Structure 1
Amino acid sequence: PNEPLGLHLSWVTHWMLIYPALIGFYTLLLSWVASTESQPGRFSHRKLLGACMLSLPFLSFITTPLIFNHHKADHQWSFMQSAYLHSYLPSNATCFYITLAITTIWIFLALKRLNSSKPAFVSRALAGFCLIDATIVAPFSPSVACVCITLFLLALLLQRVTPAT
């Protein structure tokens, strides 16, 4: 009744805040490397960066079923329950697993490029935003996930014309 701007946010759960946090963390990690692009030498925290970046798709894997089943999951949630919760995902689970695999592989390949070139990593990681988005929306809307993957491919194409787009 007295909601600001007439917004009714009763449907928002605390689990949903993890997705914006994932995007924010990805942005911070990418910015961390980008801030050292002009400095000579290799990025000195590659292992920490790799562990953090590769954990992002994993966190999406854990939290997605919790969003779908927030009314079933109690406060005694454990890691093992996540595997069982995935059986409650809607039929879009296949799209989710495919985008999760593509995103994880892309992050791994981008991190491999970091060994030889910071700008190459930054370019790949920028395009990877679209894949992170695809992973997040895939369980909710496979068609939107396909749009995100198409935008990822477009970003790669545009990077041939203008680097780091």
Structure 2
Amino acid sequence: MKTKIETIHNITNITLAQKAIILLQKQKLKIATAESCTGGLLAYHFISLDGASTIFDGGMISYANSIKNTWLGVGSDSLQTFGAVSEIVVRQMCKGIIKQSGADVGLATSGIAGPSGGSNEKPVGTVFIGIQFKNKDAIVKHCQFSGNRNEIQIQTCNQALEMLIDLLQSR
């Protein structure tokens, strides 16, 4: 029997990912992901579906700050001043994944999924999601989710896919 999380994961995210794939295909766009708190879950939602090869270039799991810096070009000063879970870092992650992959769209996540790692300023559930179209500025959303680690990751993926769909529909 499936758990509530598995049901949410299988129905909501896959349906959103299917819609995103269709919109990306119609606009002939390729996407790449740079993920921290979602640890590849966003990439999974794309590549688990038929048609993914037409829109998905690749993804990076940049969990450690050193990887954000060396692989994605996130500034050490940004990481030290603002922390990995910040708008500026997610903007730089978007820019970096587009540069590294050559994709048309970069999608990045960074957050605190818990159960530890939170603070008064950035409690568990604090997430930044960014989407950038090549040669445009990134759009970053600050979210505050609740639940356990897996639920926060799923909510992050849902929000990222919904943001992507909204941006694609408004183009």
> Which structure carries more strand by proportion?
2
The TM-score with structure 2 as length reference comes to: 0.26
**TM-score, normalised via structure 1 length:** 0.26
Greater helix fraction, Structure 1 or Structure 2: 1
